[in-house]
Homo-oligomer: A and B are copies of this chain.
Amino acid sequence: MSKSELPVIDQDAGACCSPMVREPLDESAAVDLARMFKALSDPIRLRLLSLIASHQGGEACVCDLTGPFDVSQPTISHHLKVLREAGLVDSERRGTWVYYWVLPAALATLSSLLQAPADTPAAVGGGR
């Protein structure tokens, strides 16, 4: 359960890829990236990710995550599964509790991909 199910591109390279505003995304990359963005496309999942990342020690058990929301516990569990299968978080059971933490490389990949033209030094003053 603690392995990410998705073959994430450059999972361990950190902020790697050139921004998508520099050159067109090829189709298979777009499919992989869309899967990750889809995991971020729900308010509850965004808040879950944020709660996990900003929690003491960088990880949180599910019991810390069900309180702040108006939805049922199975629904939270479902959203955590979506985040895990997208490669954004990982989890581990320790005794009674299951802990989740963010995989920073995945966030970094998306972040660098979205770098706007003005943010990429090479693009300043040289539209093309």
A residues sitting closer than 8 Å to B (CB atoms) are 14-15, 20-25, 27, 30-31, 33-34, 37-38, 40-47, 49-51, 53-54, 56-58, 68, 102, 104-105, 107-108, 110-119, 127-128
Shortest distance in angstroms between A36's beta carbon and chain B's nearest beta carbon?
A: 9
Q: Which of B22, B24, B40, B58 is A34 in contact with, Cβ under 8 Å?
A: B40
Q: Is the interface of A mostly helix, strand, loop or mixed?
A: helix
Q: A104-B117, A104-B118 are in contact. Are A46 and B30 (CB under 8 A)?
A: yes
> Please, how many angstroms separate the alpha-carbon atoms of A127 and B113 in the complex?
25
On whether the beta carbons of B119 and A115 are closer than 8 Å, the reply is: no
On whether the beta carbons of B128 and A57 are closer than 8 Å, the reply is: yes
Tally of this chain's copies: 2
B-chain residues with CB within 8 Å of residue A57 when the two chains form the complex: 127-128
Q: Which of B24, B46, B114 is A54 in contact with, Cβ under 8 Å?
A: B24
On whether the beta carbons of B58 and A14 are closer than 8 Å, the reply is: no
> Please, how many angstroms separate the alpha-carbon atoms of A68 and B30 in the complex?
13
Shortest distance in angstroms between A42's beta carbon and chain B's nearest beta carbon?
A: 6
On whether the beta carbons of B34 and A43 are closer than 8 Å, the reply is: yes
B-chain residues with CB within 8 Å of residue A116 when the two chains form the complex: 14-15, 102, 104-105, 107-108, 111
Q: A25-B46, A104-B117, A108-B114 are in contact. List 17 more A-B contacts (CB 8 A).
A: A20-B50, A21-B50, A21-B54, A21-B102, A22-B53, A23-B50, A30-B47, A33-B40, A34-B40, A34-B46, A37-B37, A37-B41, A58-B128, A102-B117, A105-B116, A108-B115, A108-B119
